[in-house]
Chain A
Amino acid sequence: MSTKENPAAFRYAASHEWLNASGGSAVCGITDYAQRQLTDVVFIELPPVGKKVKAGDRAAVVESVKSVSDIYAPVSGEITEVNSRLADAPELVNSDPFGEGWLFKISLNDEGELQRLLTKEGYEKTIQGEKA
């Protein structure tokens, strides 16, 4: 599996979620680094649309062959949409983590929270720290 570049326009959480914000809402997923650690994703428990979450709350659960992992909301807000394709094609999280493998969309309560997330460079430093 070839490594995929972390998009420069996205923001990241140290717990390996990404967020792509525009106009008061954001798309969220997990990073390529995360999907490689998890191994093949076989099932994703997604949040109900309308659920209100705070930054750091569990928003989804990813079942992979090797592990089960909580996915946290990178920011506070309300879940406005989930990626329904993942029900039949969870492998999209592995094959296209920054694109078709997105998990949920969230409306932002406070755009100021985006400042607390990591940039691409900051996230890549975090990964290097984990590897060491």
Chain B
Amino acid sequence: MDQNKKTIKQSPLADTHKRLGAFMTEFADWSLPLYFSGILDEHLAVRTHAGLFDVSHMGEIEIRGTHALPFLQKLLTIDLETVTPNRCSYALMCYEHGGTVDDCFVYCFSRSRYWLVVNAANVSKDTGWLRDHASRYSVTIRDLSGETAKLDIQGPAAVSIASRSSVFPFTLLERFGMVEVRIAEVPAVVSRSGYTGEDGLEIYFESSHAAKVWDNLIESDERLKPAGLGARDSLRIEACYSLYGHELSEHISPVEAGVGWAVHHRKKEDFIGKKLLLKQKEEGAVKNLCAFVMHDRVVPRGGYEILDRGDRVGWVSSGTYSPCFEKAIGLGFIENRKLSAGDEIEIRGRYKKSVAAVAERPFYKYKGGKT
């Protein structure tokens, strides 16, 4: 065996994906489906009906203890008073310099028990960061990622489809509500949330039950499509959701990435990064996220240069072909200047320069259920 080869983690649904003929890819040291029937087909299924994603690579970190709340107030940018028991919320962890450790979803079970759902590539970094800051708090930090499977069912029909697999009618759940309930008879944590811009659920459970839950959901609706990471990426770009490593990083703050709304600088507790983030909010950041639509059909790719009247003014962070708008779209950062929707920019690609127009964010507005 090649000594340099990293260990590739297998999803608990690896056999299911093989049986379904999934085209597999490697992402954050995991082997996961890139697509089943095709990225565009799965994307449109999620926008019009429903898709089922295996996202078991995502990390789950449990924070327990009498100081769980004050500890997370120190570490997260949001005010945890807004995340009451049985609710979840988008949040970020930052460095003192304002750069981003990771973005995550925080789940509140009680004021002494929370989950952070984090990016797969950042699980060990995040766990280390949390532990490094925990010494003055009575908390235990446990990485549950290895034993936890995660399925996202997303799309306008997703919530009613999933309700067939449970005694709990998920249609009663509010957006960002969370419930502990059995699904396909398996104890699960379920939230009404997602990463696609559609209504839907995120479902967490013990990974040995993965095939049972997957099969139960798939068999309950013949139009529910298995969907892969390819569609997950094109859907999140249409919805303008950040992906760590692209729109967020150690060198990109939440304010720069356009998620300053998740920096609650008015909360009474101090939090790591507050000083710099507040300064960026008040004085403006050097670089700012911008969305754009290509005039031709060249797909913008991460790293392409953005030009304004010939000058390099930034770079592309993500791009895709949007099946909903039938246009190539992208996200990128613009440095030291303000551009408005409609302004023309140029994208210097691998084989030619293309014209694009700055667009309003998001390209695709959330059309989900109960808010």
Contact = CB atoms under 8 A, between A and B. Distances in A.
Contacts of B35: 39
A1 B297 contact: no
Contacts of A2: 21
A65 B23 contact: no
A40 B38 CA distance: 7
B298 interface: yes
A36 B230 CA distance: 13
Contacts of A70: 351
A65 B296 CA distance: 15
Interface residues of B, number: 22
A39 B23 CA distance: 9
A40 B37 contact: no
A92 to B, nearest CB: 13
A42 interface: yes
A81 interface: no
Contact of A66 (B230, B296, B352): B230
A45 B352 CA distance: 10
Given A36-B23, A42-B328, A45-B351, A68 B38 contact: no
A65 B351 contact: no
A65 B350 contact: no
Q: Which of the listed residues B296, B299, B301, B350 has the most CB atoms from chain A within 10 Å of its own CB?
A: B299
B176 interface: no
Nearest to A44: B297
Contact of A65 (B298, B299, B349): B299
Contacts of B71: none
Contacts, number: 55
B230 A43 contact: no
A63 interface: yes
B170 interface: no
Contact of A39 (B21, B39, B296, B298): B39
A61 interface: yes
A105 B38 CA distance: 28
A94 B351 CA distance: 22
A94 B230 CA distance: 16
Contacts of A42: 297, 299, 321, 328
B38 A43 contact: no
Nearest to B35: A39
A67 B352 CA distance: 15
Interface string A39-75: 1101101000000000000000101111110100000
Contact of B40 (A45, A61, A65): A65
A40 B297 contact: no
Interface in B279-308: 296-299, 301
Contacts of A64: 299
A27 B71 CA distance: 66
Contacts of A94: 38
A1 B39 CA distance: 11
A107 to B, nearest CB: 24
A70 B299 CA distance: 14
Contact of B39 (A43, A61, A65): A65
B320 interface: yes
B297 A39 contact: no
A2 B21 CA distance: 8
Interface string B51-87: 0000000000000000000000000000000000000
Nearest to A37: B23
Nearest to B231: A65
A1 B23 CA distance: 9
Interface in B190-237: 230, 234
21 contacts: A1-B21, A1-B23, A39-B35, A39-B39, A39-B230, A40-B39, A42-B297, A42-B321, A43-B296, A43-B297, A43-B298, A43-B328, A45-B351, A63-B299, A63-B328, A64-B299, A65-B299, A65-B321, A66-B39, A68-B351, A70-B351
Given A40-B40, A68-B301, A68-B351, 7 more contacts: A36-B23, A39-B39, A43-B321, A45-B351, A61-B350, A63-B321, A65-B39
